Amino acid sequence: MNTKLRWGLLDAVVVVFALVPVLWVMSLSFKTAATLTDGNFIPRDWTLDNYKLIFQTDQFVRALINSIGIALISTVIAVVLGTMAAYAISRLDFPGKSLLVGVSLLIAMFPQVSLVSPLFNIERQTGLFDTWPGLILPYITFALPLAIYTLSAFFKQIPWDLEKAAKMDGATQGEAFRKVIAPLAAPGVFTTAILVFIFCWNDFLFAISLTSTEQSRTVPVALSFFTGASQFEDPTGAISAAAVVITIPIILFVLFFQKRIVAGLTSGAVKG
Amino acid sequence: MADIVLDKVTKSYPDGTTAVHGIDLEIADGEFVILVGPSGCGKSTTLNMIAGLEDITSGELRIDGERVNDKAPKDRDIAMVFQSYALYPNMTVGENMAFPLKLAKLPKAEIDKKVNDAAKVLDLTDYLDRRPANLSGGQRQRVAMGRAIVRSPKVFLMDEPLSNLDAKLRVQMRTQVSRLQKQLNTTTVYVTHDQTEAMTLGDRVVVMRGGRIQQVGDPQTLYDHPNNLFVAGFIGSPSMNFLPATVAEGKLRTALGDLPLGERMQRVLAAGDAPRELVLGIRPEHFEDAALVEDRQRSHGYEFTAPVDLVESMGSDKYVYFNVEGGAATSADLADLAADAGGADLPSSDQASLVTRLSAESRVRDGASTKVWMNLDKIHLFDPKDGRNVTLHEGRAAGVAAS
Ligand SMILES: Nc1ncnc2c1ncn2[C@@H]1O[C@H](COP(=O)(O)OP(=O)(O)OP(=O)(O)O)[C@@H](O)[C@H]1O
Ligand SMILES: [Mg+2]
């Protein structure tokens, strides 16, 4: 009983610690400019003005489109490439396998800050600067190791025998992968997709260094350029509203895929 | 229906291990052949080569007279039951069994009929809509069998299909597998490392060791006339007793006493290349309480007296253990067998233990000295260096006393 209580208390502390800032931002986003700094947790003056304001500015809507587009494209490419690489790593023995794993680990560890100036110069030279591909490319680079690692862990859980069984049952290599392995790997693929999407969605470092105009600026960067309705107005309310808005796609994304992440889908395949 | 021929089939893995060394084996149409041997002897590798899941390094594999070395598994028309069952967890039992038929693009009605028929045979009708995760071990095993039989393949391959079941279920399934095979009359290759399964199931048993075939024959032949020390020790439970023996003055000197040698054996053992040191092998049931032996039989045997170590009464008969001075027999084959039985860590002593199976009427008691008779016609002598059975004469073992 006592330990249960202690754990419950600990859980509560963690939840409060994580949620208070989020709730604070939400509360700020509903406050009027006048009550913004009154320190009340629950707004006394409710308003939707902040939300109206950000959707009126072309700046935010444009950034939202950029963010969604860039994050989705990067996620799809990284997950497709990652799936193929992880399948090869977990199933095949090929020359250079450990090199591939080593290099991808190296990339994952590489401090991204140190790449910002070289990337800036390269993209200026090649004309990629301030374009979608200019952000998609570095995102894929850093998302791939993440994708490969998560996916190969998932693939390793799928019993090898299933593929052999499918072949004995008359499937070609392709059919065995499509009809037996892919459905089992799906939860892993969706989990990876969520992780990669969040990584791309949250990035600020590359987005601020490799963009200069609204043409490819993503939301996290656009937020930092927010001004109020006039130059002299405090933009805190608008920024909070925007912050709330950009968490929504992530929540939707997770909810949408959550149904497909059925844990233990492979149980019963083999006697464990 | 098909016959299978393995012609000097060899398998070497890229890392240099040769798992199978030039195996020759002919399996007749409709035959039930068992591959048996200790762990790592290449049974699964051989089976996988027949299946097409492993490439054949050299040699030729023919099914129905046709060379199939380079055919993909799906073109060989072979079904396989895996040790792990390898059921598709995302499909129901019915879908699992229908999978090979769907791949073969059979019409829906026919698929349903075949699945239902197979389910009836295997008593799975009530479980067709369940997923493998919600089945017991025995039911999963039956689904795996069902998936193999639905499409009436030319050949069944089974890799230790029963080894994940508990002992009682294993015995039940063993008879079911046997009945199913008789009923379908499909050529079957069955891998196991359990010698009881090998003895009870197959038409013919192939004993393998270290990637080589030791002996091929029907179970009784392997039991009565083992080619070598390894086969003798591997087949039979409890296993054959082995004692060191030497030839001296026309007799066989053992820890049990000096056994008479028949004329033929004397001749064989007198030959220039005959071994001086031998390993004597005799099965537990070839001993009897001397008090119960009929006079007519007595002359075929040899009697010795030894103190009883332990008596295990099984009701139908008694297992009586004796300690024999003079140490256990040693040879590479015996070391292999001990390692396989997991007995490699047992403390070695200079006393050999002798297991005998006496009739239930025997009055032996723990600790008491007892006179025991052993059948000289059933003794095997092995060369400890290569394990060869030197008592074998034209493929049959005739004991040591025969003239
Ligand atoms: N992919 C591989 N690469 C290298 N060696 C292998 C490979 N697969 C198996 N071997 C080796 O080949 C030998 C035979 O293996 P195999 O799986 O056929 O044994 P088995 O008789 O089926 O044993 P068990 O009863 O344990 O299943 C073993 O020594 C094993 O280590
Ligand atoms: Mg095996």
Instruction: Note whether A90 and A43 are same-domain residues.
Output: no
Cα end-to-end distance, chain B, whole Å: 47
With respect to residue A103, please indicate whether it lies within any of the assigned structural domains.
yes
Helix (H) or strand (E) holding B303: strand B301-313
The reply to whether residue A268 touches residue B87, judged by beta carbons under 8 angstroms, is yes
């003056």: which residue's tokens? A45
Statement to judge: residues A197 and A134 lie in one domain = yes
Does the CA dihedral B19-B21-B27-B32 come out positive or negative?
Answer: negative
pLDDT of residue B112: 94
Q: How many angstroms separate the CA atoms of B215 and B226, rounded?
A: 8
* CA terminus-to-terminus distance, chain A: 34
**Helices (H) then strands (E): counts for chain B:** 11, 22
- Residue B345 scores a pLDDT above 60: no
Mean pLDDT within B84-109: 93
A164 in a structural domain = yes
- For helices A58-91 and A132-157, angle between their N-to-C axes, nearest 10 degrees: 40
Q: What angle do CA B361, B378, B37 make, to 5 degrees?
A: 100
Q: What integer pLDDT is reported at residue B403 of this predicted model?
A: 62
Looking at the DSSP assignment, which residues form a beta bridge with residue B373?
Answer: B288, B303
The pLDDT value given to residue B36: 95
Residues of B in contact with A167 (CB under 8 A): 52-53, 72-74
The C-alpha atoms of residue A23 and residue B339 are separated, in whole angstroms, by: 66
Choose, out of B45, B74, B76, B114, the residue to mutate when testing the contact with A (most A CBs < 10 Å).
B74
Structure tokens at B37: 């041997």
Looking at ligand 1, which residue's alpha carbon is closest to its atom 7?
B13
Do A151 and A61 reside in the same domain of the chain? yes
Q: A15 and A35: one domain?
A: yes
B285 has pLDDT over 90: yes
Q: Among B81, B83, B85, pick the best mutation site for testing chain A contact (most A Cβ within 10 A).
A: B85
E strand intervals along B103-250:
155-159, 187-192, 204-209, 212-217, 241-248
Indicate the pTM of the whole model. Answer: 0.80
Task: Kindly report the backbone phi and psi dihedral angles of residue A51, in degrees, each rounded to the nearest multiple of 5, phi listed first.
Answer: -70, -45
Residues A101 and A37 in one domain: no
Same domain, yes or no: A61 and A194: yes
The average pLDDT across B189-206 equals 92
pLDDT for residue B110 is more than 90:
yes
Are residue A40 and residue A150 in the same domain, yes or no?
no
Dist. CA A266–CA A269, nearest whole Å: 6
Under an 8 A CB cutoff, do A184 and B90 touch?
yes
Side-chain half-sphere CA neighbours of A258 within 13 A: 7
Q: What is the mean pLDDT of residues B75-94?
A: 92
Identify the pLDDT of residue B401. Answer: 76
Contact B131 A161 (CB under 8 A): no
Residue A21 located in a structural domain: yes
Residue of chain A whose Cα is closest to the Cα of B157: A168
Q: Count interface pairs A-B at CB distance under 8 A.
A: 83
* Residue A111 φ then ψ, to 5°: -65, 120
Q: Which residues form ligand 1's pocket by a CB distance below 6 Å? A: B 13, 15, 17, 19, 37, 39-45, 193
User: Could you say which residues from 134 to 173 on chain A have a Cβ atom under 8 Å away from some Cβ of chain B?
Assistant: 159, 161-162, 164-172
Return per-residue pLDDT of chain A as tens, 272 residues.
688 999 999 999 999 999 999 899 999 899 888 888 887 888 888 888 888 888 888 888 899 999 999 999 999 999 999 998 998 898 888 888 899 889 988 888 888 899 899 999 999 999 999 999 999 999 999 999 989 988 888 888 888 889 999 999 999 988 998 889 888 888 888 888 988 999 999 999 999 999 998 889 999 998 888 765 565 667 888 889 988 988 888 888 788 777 666 554 455 555 44
Q: Is residue A194 part of a domain?
A: yes
Helix axes B137-149, B108-121, angle to 10 degrees: 130
Q: Which residue has the higher pLDDT, A261 or B53?
A: B53
- Distance between CA atoms of B206 and B347, rounded to whole angstroms? 32
Same domain, A20 and A2: yes
Q: Given the DSSP bridges, would you call strands B58-63 and B241-248 parallel, antiparallel or unpaired?
A: unpaired
Q: Residue B336 is inside which H or E element, if any?
A: helix B332-341
Report pLDDT for A231. Answer: 59
Q: Do A165 and B88 touch (CB under 8 A)?
A: yes
Is A72 found in the same domain as A37? no
- Report d(CA B75, CA B366) in Å as an integer: 62
Q: Which of A97, A168, A260 to mutate to test the interface with B (most CBs of B within 10 A)?
A: A168
How large is the average pLDDT for residues B108-112?
A: 94
Q: What are phi and psi of B306, to 5 degrees?
A: -150, 150
Instruction: List, in sequence order, every residue forming a beta bridge with B397; answer none if it has no partner.
Output: B392
Domain presence at residue A152: yes
- The strands making up B18-27's β-sheet, listed across from edge to edge, are B18-27, B4-12, B58-63, B66-67
- Region B21-32: mean pLDDT is 94
Tell me the average pLDDT across B63-85: 92
| Secondary structure of A74-134 in HEC code, one letter for each residue | HHHHHHHHHHHHHHHHHHCCCCCHHHHHHHHHHHHHCCCHHHHHHHHHHHHHHCCCCCHHH
Q: What is the tens place of the pLDDT at every residue in B149-159?
A: 998 999 999 99
Q: How far apart are CA B159 and CA B177, in angstroms?
A: 13
Residue A54 amino acid letter: I
Domain region containing A42: 1-47
pLDDT digits (tens, 9 = 90+) for B208-248: 999 999 999 999 999 999 999 999 999 998 889 999 999 88
What is the full DSSP assignment across chain A?
-HHHHHHHHHHHHHHHHHHHHHHHHHHHHTB-TTTTTS--SS-SSB--HHHHHHHHSHHHHHHHHHHHHHHHHHHHHHHHHHHHHHHHHHH---TTHHHHHHHHHHHHHS-THHHHHHHHHHHHHHT-TTSHHHHHHHHHHHHHHHHHHHHHHHHHHS-HHHHHHHHHTT--HHHIIIIIIHHHHHHHHHHHHHHHHHHHHH--HHHHHS--STTT--HHHHHHT---SSTTS-THHHHHHHHHHHHHHHHHHHHHHHTT--TTTTTTSS--
pLDDT for A254 equals 80
| Candidate from B80, B84, B103 with C-beta closest to A171 | B103
Q: What is the dihedral of CA A231, A236, A237, A243, to 10 degrees?
A: 120
Average pLDDT for B358-375: 90
Give the Cα separation of B52 and B47 in Å (integer). 9
B350 — pLDDT class (breaks 50, 70, 90): low
Residue A161 lies in a domain: yes
| Residue in chain A lying closest to B87 (CA) | A269
| β-strand pairing of B187-192 with B32-36 | parallel
* A82 and A154 fall within a common domain: yes
B385 within 8 A of B275, measured Cβ to Cβ: yes
Most confident of A146-160, B19-33, B165-179, B254-268: B19-33
Domain count, chain A: 2
Query: Residue A184's closest CA among A161, A155, A164?
Result: A155
| pLDDT at residue A230, as a whole number | 61
Residue A52 lies in a domain: no
Check whether residue A261 and residue A172 sit in a common domain.
yes
Q: Answer yes or no: is A73 within a domain.
A: yes
- A238/A264 same-domain check: yes
Q: Which tokens hold the place of B401?
A: 């006393």
CATH of the domain at A202: 1.10.3720.10
**B chain contacts of residue A266, beta-carbon cutoff 8 Å:** 89
A261 and B CB contact within 8 Å? no
Task: Calculate how far, in angstroms, residue B237's C-alpha sits from the geometric centre of ligand 1.
Answer: 25
Helix (H, G, I), strand (E, B) or coil at B113: helix
Cα B271 to Cα B269: distance, rounded to the nearest angstrom: 5
Question: How far is CA B183 from its chain centroid?
Answer: 23
pLDDT for res A261: 60
